[in-house]
Amino acid sequence: MSGESSSNQGGETEERKICANGGSVQTETVEAKLDAGNIDEAESALREGLSLNSEEARALLGRLEYQRGNVEAALGVFEGIDLEDAIQRLQSCSTEKIHKKSGLSGPHLGANLVLEAIYLKTKSLQKLNRIKDAAEECKRVLDAVEKIFPQGIPEAFVDTKLQETISRAVELLPQLWAEAGSYHEAIASYRRALLTHWNLDNDSCARIQTNFAVFLLYGGIEAVSPSTATQVDGTYNPKSNIEEAILLLMICMRKFSLGKAKWDPAVVEHLTFALSLCNQTPILAKQMEEVIPGVIHRVDLWKNLALCFSAIGHRKTALDLLKKALHKHEKPDDITSLLLAAKICSEDSSFAAEGIEYAHRAVSCSKNGNEHLQGVCLRVLGLCYGKQASISASDYERSRLQSEALKSLDEAITFDPENSDLVFELGIQYAMQRNLNNALRLAKQYIDATGGSMLRGWRLLALILSAQQRFQEAEVVTDAALDETAKWDQGPLLRLKAKLRIAQSRHLDAIETYRHLLALIQAQKKSYAPLHSTHQIEDDRVNEYEVWQGLANLYSSLSRWKDAEICLGKARAIIECSSETLHTEGTIYQRRGEIDEALATYVNSLLIEATYVPSKICVGAIMSNRGLAMLPVARTLLSDALRLEPTNRMAWLHLGFVHKLDGRLSDAIDSFQAASMLEESDPIESFNSIL
């Protein structure tokens, strides 16, 4: 094998030599001739000293110039090399037995020198920013190798210089095409690299797979599925960029878990992104659990697994993992774990109190950090306070928690005033506390900040206007939002528009809007059926069950009993037995004057869901009309309803009637006053529906 060798003579001087075919030439001698511009003399010295032909000598000269950093000079030397002649010579002896220890010699040595020269020519062109020319030259190397070894590179070449050159060229070519903007050629080269028998080692193959996955994920071009001609029977054929990228990254993860390739943390990051796009975080969790212990620090592993489980709604599991990460013997002050735990708690009222504790710890830990991080901690703290306030049984405690929520969010916005999400969350908090003027200001600010591109901003604005009893203006806002919203995303707006029309006693217009909404749902089903289940469509777009429920309630209010029952039947076809459906059935009975049947149906609704507030209120109202003996029962039910929904106007109204019948006039006046105030600020839909 040719190359430069160094030897230390008695520890005094270091000699540099070029060796090949059992001979050697002093490197300094060749360099001196090159520096003097005597390229022919330098070539002659190598030919005579190393028994090389002209092309092999020029290959060595070019490599020497490249190693010295003389890229343009190296390119000039490489230009005259004949690759075809080298291919023919190597083809003629490609079947000869090659010993790994002895390496290449004779014709093999010459052909390898020429192939390496073309590869270095590629690198020279790349350094000179002639990317497309570099890609063409790199392709010449691989085309040549395929001519020499049509059945694949023999195992005997694995440890040779030739194999090293081939591996580098295979890895470089797709990157060059991508850099040149020839994306389809890049994709073809990546697939060629992975499907052709190049004898690549596991680390090289893993790097190519990772680079290809990165290109598919972030390249901005949709790759055509692999040709069926290249597929093996029974193998999986990916149908999109994301599917192919996930497949490649999971293959890499498998190699890591088996210890066949060097660990690359970037693979986990890319796989996390790809699987998150598909809502497949459980698969990501499984991949992480299979990683060899010690490769990922256990605290980082727990955090990543917590993210995976929280993404699919398994909050308890996620919190248990984070508690392990925050144990006093692990990293109790890790701000990422604290923030994630607090964020998960802020999404579930049953964990809200625990979330406040995590958020306070995060705020304390962030005080020595940057202002942005402190703002994030305060924001999560405000959300936890707001969630805890929503379930507080005490008016005083609820008021205190709401004040703390506003205080934290107001402070957070001083650190990050341009954060539109924070503006929205602060607007929601003001709206839920019926501070409608501030809520309206923030809703408009959010729409301006997002350019009207976010559906939730329009919905918040319309709900605030409806809470101010400005129904016509709210409908104008809803129509404006519909104009700005893609067809598939219009479901929540159409439902809101129907309710606004009902509030204005425009019942026929509301029915027409509901019909439009149902047509949209049917179109979505047909469009998304091959890719998604019905349940997924409803989660992402609009809930068909709620539409039928809304129509049933509307027909019931118009005493169109048959139409109402048909709509309830449609709702039951989607969810066979639910508190909401039974409650609607109960209202139909009640409006018909069938009170006993209505009461029985409301009770059945509560048996399914004990915390269903509308049924609690209706049962309480019916019981209050059944004599003084039933007033304590009615009071308990209505008080419990207010514990669950403190701003429920109907609960306050009926509680006022109970107090009046019981002779507690002062309490009755307070309850009626609360109901009156809430009626003046009651939105057409709950503000929580936007969250």
Residue 619 predicted with pLDDT over 80: yes
Q: Burial, 301: exposed, middle or buried (Cβ in 10 Å; 0-12, 13-18, 19+)? A: buried
Residues 212-223, mean pLDDT to the nearest whole number:
88
- Lowest mean pLDDT across 225-239, 400-414, 418-432, 613-627: 225-239
Which tens digit of pLDDT belongs to each residue from 90-126? 666 555 544 444 444 445 666 678 888 888 989 999 9
| Residue 515 neighbours by CB distance under 10 Å | 14
| 3-state secondary structure (DSSP) of residue 314 | coil
Q: Burial, 111: exposed, middle or buried (Cβ in 10 Å; 0-12, 13-18, 19+)? A: buried
Task: Give yes or no for a contact between 109 and 21, defined as CB atoms under 8 angstroms apart.
Answer: yes
- Lowest mean pLDDT across 37-51, 86-100, 596-610: 86-100
Long-range contacts of 366-369 (CB under 8 A, 24+ apart): 366/335, 369/335
Task: Give yes or no for a contact between 320 and 351, defined as CB atoms under 8 angstroms apart.
Answer: no
Q: Burial, 577: exposed, middle or buried (Cβ in 10 Å; 0-12, 13-18, 19+)? A: exposed
What is the pLDDT at residue 65?
Answer: 82
Q: Does the predicted TM-score (pTM) go above 0.75? A: no
List all residues 6 or more positions away from 588 whose beta carbon is below 8 Å from its beta carbon. 552, 556, 561, 564, 565, 568
What is the pLDDT at residue 332?
Answer: 93
- Whole-number Å distance between alpha carbons of 356 and 360: 6
User: Where in 434-499 does DSSP place strands (E)?
Assistant: none
Residues 646-664, mean pLDDT to the nearest whole number:
92
Top pLDDT among 5 and 88 is at 88
- Whole-number Å distance between alpha carbons of 563 and 552: 7
Task: Give yes or no for a contact between 513 and 492, defined as CB atoms under 8 angstroms apart.
Answer: no
- Lowest mean pLDDT across 11-25, 211-225, 384-398, 602-616: 11-25
Task: Give yes or no for a contact between 90 and 108, defined as CB atoms under 8 angstroms apart.
Answer: yes
Which tens digit of pLDDT belongs to each residue from 291-332? 888 788 899 899 989 999 998 889 999 999 999 999 999 999
At residue 22 the predicted structure's pLDDT band, cuts being 50, 70 and 90, is low
What is the pLDDT at residue 257?
Answer: 85
Residues 407-419, mean pLDDT to the nearest whole number:
92
Residue 233 predicted with pLDDT over 80: no
- Whole-number Å distance between alpha carbons of 651 and 658: 11
DSSP annotation string for 607-622: HH-TT-HHHHHHHHHH
Top pLDDT among 587 and 89 is at 587
- Whole-number Å distance between alpha carbons of 166 and 145: 8
DSSP annotation string for 363-401: HHHHTTS-HHHHHHHHHHHHHHHHHHHTT-S-HHHHHHH
Percent of the chain with pLDDT over 90: 52
- Lowest mean pLDDT across 32-41, 123-132, 312-321, 528-537: 528-537
- Closest listed residue to residue 475, CA positions, set 455, 445, 495, 446: 495
- Lowest mean pLDDT across 129-138, 256-265, 455-464, 612-621: 256-265
At residue 238 the predicted structure's pLDDT band, cuts being 50, 70 and 90, is confident
User: What one-letter code names the amino acid at 103?
Assistant: G
| 3-state secondary structure (DSSP) of residue 434 | coil
Tokens of 343: 């964020």
CA-CA distances (angstroms) from residue 32 to 56, 117, 460?
20, 21, 79
- Closest listed residue to residue 344, CA positions, set 382, 385, 306, 375: 306
- Whole-number Å distance between alpha carbons of 58 and 44: 10
Which tens digit of pLDDT belongs to each residue from 157-200? 666 788 888 899 999 999 999 999 999 999 999 999 998 888 88
- Lowest mean pLDDT across 231-240, 256-265, 463-472: 231-240
What is the pLDDT at residue 340?
Answer: 94
Q: Where in the chain is the domain with CATH 1.25.40.10?
A: 612-691
Task: Give yes or no for a contact between 493 and 478, defined as CB atoms under 8 angstroms apart.
Answer: yes
Residues 374-399, mean pLDDT to the nearest whole number:
88
Residue 448 predicted with pLDDT over 90: yes
User: What one-letter code names the amino acid at 666?
Assistant: S
CA-CA distances (angstroms) from residue 466 to 428, 435, 601?
14, 14, 31
Percent of the chain with pLDDT over 70: 88
What is the pLDDT at residue 89?
Answer: 67
DSSP-derived letter for residue 687 is G
Task: Give yes or no for a contact between 429 and 382, defined as CB atoms under 8 angstroms apart.
Answer: yes
- Closest listed residue to residue 100, CA positions, set 19, 163, 52: 163
- Lowest mean pLDDT across 221-235, 349-363, 547-561: 221-235
At residue 531 the predicted structure's pLDDT band, cuts being 50, 70 and 90, is very low
Residues 598-621, mean pLDDT to the nearest whole number:
95
- 593 Rama class: left (phi>0) / alpha (psi -120 to 50) / beta: left
- Closest listed residue to residue 172, CA positions, set 140, 128, 219: 140
CATH number among 3.40.50.300, 2.40.320.10, 3.40.50.2300, 1.25.40.10, domain 612-691 = 1.25.40.10
Residues 453-480, mean pLDDT to the nearest whole number:
94
What is the pLDDT at residue 44?
Answer: 75
